[in-house]
Amino acid sequence: MSNSESASMSFWDHLDALRGVIVKGIVVIIVFGIVAFLFKEELFDIVLAPKENNFVTYRWLRYLESLVSDQQMADFSVSLINTRLAEQFMIHMKTALCAGVLCASPYILYELFRFVSPALYENERKYATRFVISGYLMFIIGVLLSYYLIFPLTFRFLGTYQVTSDVTNMISLESYMSTLILLCLSMGLVFEMPILVWLFGKMGFLSDPFMRKYRRHAVVLILIIAAIITPTTDIFTLLIVSLPMWLLYEGSIFLLPKPTKSTT
């Protein structure tokens, strides 16, 4: 659809086109979700991998520990339980739906961009393309960081923590899945920070001196946000979530234009 065609369309034509984009996105999500639902074993091999003692993150930690110490990280074993009659089936459906959304997200972004792009000028379209692609890649990086590092370390620490040997940990499947999904989604959104900072910098809302001046305030705000998005109340998870957020804040400063020195 060209700019001239877009300009000649009425409000209802635009609404109808948007409805078509939404319908196609829902259909693609359902198709991917059904495929994920049918491949149950492969799906949950991926989802439940971080609870296994031989998960890649734990293997790398053991290797790094062997380079600096003769002692090795202790093996661990945590079993998941189910406490409700229909819980496993419902979790299966929810997980398949999440996988469908994740797999369909590139197509959905492409269709949304096709819908919006005719209303943009050439230079705006160029920036919008960079914004969408960079935002999507940063979201995926955040999800992968949570899956491979933040969630495994959180699960290992909390899943094996005991106040006394008389109390045995019995982690429910629902607790495992809700923590995994929430952490992955939260970190995906947190990793949008550099993109938003760059955008606000382009719009003149943020500047390098401003972010440097309020760095201490930002640390407090990061701790508050981390406390809100973490599904548990322990300090370990709080710190492991807030550290990437702080690093993203510091890295985002370099994306902003530097103040120019006035010459006399």
Q: In this predicted structure, what is the pLDDT of residue 199?
A: 78
Percent of the residues in the chain that have a pLDDT greater than 70, as a whole number: 89
Q: In this predicted structure, what is the pLDDT of residue 10?
A: 66
More confident residue, 97 or 156: 97
More confident residue, 191 or 2: 191
Model confidence pLDDT, tens digit, residues 104-158: 998 888 888 887 777 777 777 777 788 888 888 989 999 999 899 888 888 888 8
Q: In this predicted structure, what is the pLDDT of residue 42?
A: 94
Average pLDDT over residues 74-101: 90
Model confidence pLDDT, tens digit, residues 203-213: 777 788 888 88
Q: In this predicted structure, what is the pLDDT of residue 234?
A: 64
Q: In this predicted structure, what is the pLDDT of residue 63?
A: 82
pLDDT at 264 over 50: no
pLDDT averaged over every residue in the chain:
83
Per residue, what are the HEC states of the chain? CCHHHHHHCCHHHHHHHHHHHHHHHHHHHHHHHHHHHHCHHHHHHHHCHHHCCCCHHHHHHHHHHHHHCCCCCCCCCCCEECCCCCHHHHHHHHHHHHHHHHHHHHHHHHHHHHHHHHHCCHHHHHHHHHHHHHHHHHHHHHHHHHHHHHHHHHHHHHHHCCCCCCCCCCEEHHHHHHHHHHHHHHHHHHCCHHHHHHHHHHHCCCCHHHHHHCHHHHHHHHHHHHHHHCCCCCHHHHHHHHHHHHHHHHHHHCCCCCCCCCCC
More confident residue, 165 or 231: 165
More confident residue, 34 or 239: 34
Model confidence pLDDT, tens digit, residues 202-249: 777 778 888 888 888 888 888 888 887 776 666 777 787 888 888 888
